[in-house]
Chains A and B, each alone.
Chain A
């Protein structure tokens, strides 16, 4: 039998390591690829004294290379300091898997982005960001470019789903052009909250959907 991936990728696909959620994660992120529709969630638990990743887990709605990369990237991250983990590249993940098909680069790069964003989320949550930029509607839209609508495979900004953003004294209001009973409304709401609530000057996030 001839499979489209090497043994190592297949093993990480068949029996992925570090699958699941960390309920009390110190940092987490969900990233999606508009091109292919895959999504990855990465969770990290950090030993805050040593600034070292104690545990890392992932969830995937994606193809084989996406799952295999999620497995390998969480393996690579565990035990590393935050600064070391930030340096992990897609090439390293790909090498650790014995090579991935080039056409699948963008499905697998997602897991790497997921790890980076989970680290960023951790640093923001714990006040570790040094340069503090004030939150503006533009900055919020930039961040929301990573929240995708699985139905269209497009992120919610480029998919024109953000009707309006208001920032008033630490309170952020976002109007999403989807009915509140949309199949992925809860997913999108949670992701938007995760990405905005960690900003240093944001105290409150309100997300409004259209009436059903």
Chain B
């Protein structure tokens, strides 16, 4: 067993920051009541005030108004809500939506589910770096188009889309724009005061916040139908008991991310990419070199299979993820690597390193050494020739 764990799978989920846990604790143990109106009991009133304050903090992270934040159980629910809620509300206006081919599963599979109910879906292709072609987007929008959903940054290869330009096109052509910010929120500046974005998915668990809480930003006046039925919580847009400790933790997690931290993470990531590409031959960086989120690196090691790499790394205490078919539950190769024009072999040998607050520059050399060693070993037993 490895003595020290080097965790580089922060895009999947992160370690909770202890300060976040401390902030949440009273709302499990002391002020645990349901949020009530100002005519309710005192613990309920306090709960309500706490919830409002937390939502102010969450809204601030986006440069949004507090009334534009709908709390959810996380990014999956937020994206489901955006796609299903908006198409439901605009059923009379049109029956067409557009998503990119390389969206994460909440958006992609919501689109597929809507397709089965009779909606038309355009899956926009992307180029070799993962960028959506703006001209293609413009051509794809019709009078029937009610929503375009293109992520801010990709979950696997980290490529950042130009959401300002995409939103502008959507608005000029009279359609709404949703963007999944799961991997950009707090890691890159997002200001809804300036961006032409109508809906945005954010979540806490990727930024050292608690699991089970996220939000959908809904710009004021955006038509959206309630999708989760029950009580009248969240301005009657999302039923269900409010997750007050979660909201408090989310707000705290947002407060704790600083620009300095993001730069520190970027420096570790840059060193990791440079050293890996230098130390291991026959590699290729997936995604754009500079237009990518600071915490992501994704590299294909040709002629080796990713699950074998991750298992070897795991035995040395390094935790990463791969786009190999053998690693996924569905046994399907990464739709992202295939989507950027990659092939089975490129997906097969792709490794994603995603960083967070608890990574340190001193980990880079250990990872590079382990990778170099593992890849050399696996290549030596491969029947594929150079």
Contact = CB atoms under 8 A, between A and B. Distances in A.
Interface of A: 1, 3-5, 10, 13-14, 16, 19-20, 30, 35-41, 59-64, 66-67, 103-104, 107, 150-153, 184, 186-187
Interface string B327-346: 10101010000000001110
B311 A60 contact: no
Contact count band on B: 20 to 34
A155 to B, nearest CB: 12
Interface in B273-316: 303-305, 307-308, 311-312, 314-315
Contact of B308 (A1, A59, A62, A150): A62
A65 B2 CA distance: 22
Q: Which of B311, B312, B329 has the most CB of A within 10 A?
A: B311
A49 B331 CA distance: 44
B1 A37 contact: no
Interface in B310-365: 311-312, 314-315, 324-327, 329, 331, 333, 343-345, 348
B384 interface: yes
Contacts of A13: 308, 311
Given A37-B333, A62-B326, 9 more contacts: A16-B381, A30-B383, A37-B345, A38-B305, A60-B381, A63-B326, A150-B348, A151-B344, A152-B344
Contacts of B303: 61
Contacts, number: 88
Contacts of A14: 312, 315
A35 B311 CA distance: 21
Given A16-B381, A36-B326, A151 B343 contact: yes
Given A37-B333, A64-B307, A184 B315 contact: no
Nearest to A154: B344
B4 interface: no
A62 B308 CA distance: 7
B109 interface: no
B384 A184 contact: yes
Contacts of B311: 3-5, 10, 13, 64
Contacts of B307: 63-64
B139 interface: no
Q: Which of B327, B331, B344, B385 has the most CB of A within 10 A?
A: B344
B382 interface: yes
Given A3-B311, A107-B326, A39 B381 contact: no
B131 to A, nearest CB: 23
A153 B308 CA distance: 17
A41 to B, nearest CB: 4
29 contacts: A3-B311, A10-B311, A14-B312, A19-B381, A36-B331, A37-B325, A37-B344, A38-B305, A59-B382, A61-B304, A61-B383, A62-B308, A63-B307, A63-B324, A64-B307, A64-B308, A66-B305, A67-B308, A67-B381, A103-B329, A107-B326, A150-B345, A150-B384, A151-B343, A151-B345, A152-B343, A152-B344, A153-B333, A153-B343
B385 A187 contact: yes
Contacts of B333: 37, 153
A19 to B, nearest CB: 5
Nearest to A150: B345
A78 to B, nearest CB: 18
B382 A60 contact: yes
A40 B308 contact: no
A1 to B, nearest CB: 5
Nearest to A148: B344
B348 to A, nearest CB: 5
Q: Top 9 A-B pairs ranked by shortest CB distance? A: A153-B344, A63-B326, A41-B383, A63-B307, A59-B383, A151-B343, A61-B382, A37-B344, A150-B345
Contact of A59 (B2, B305, B381): B381
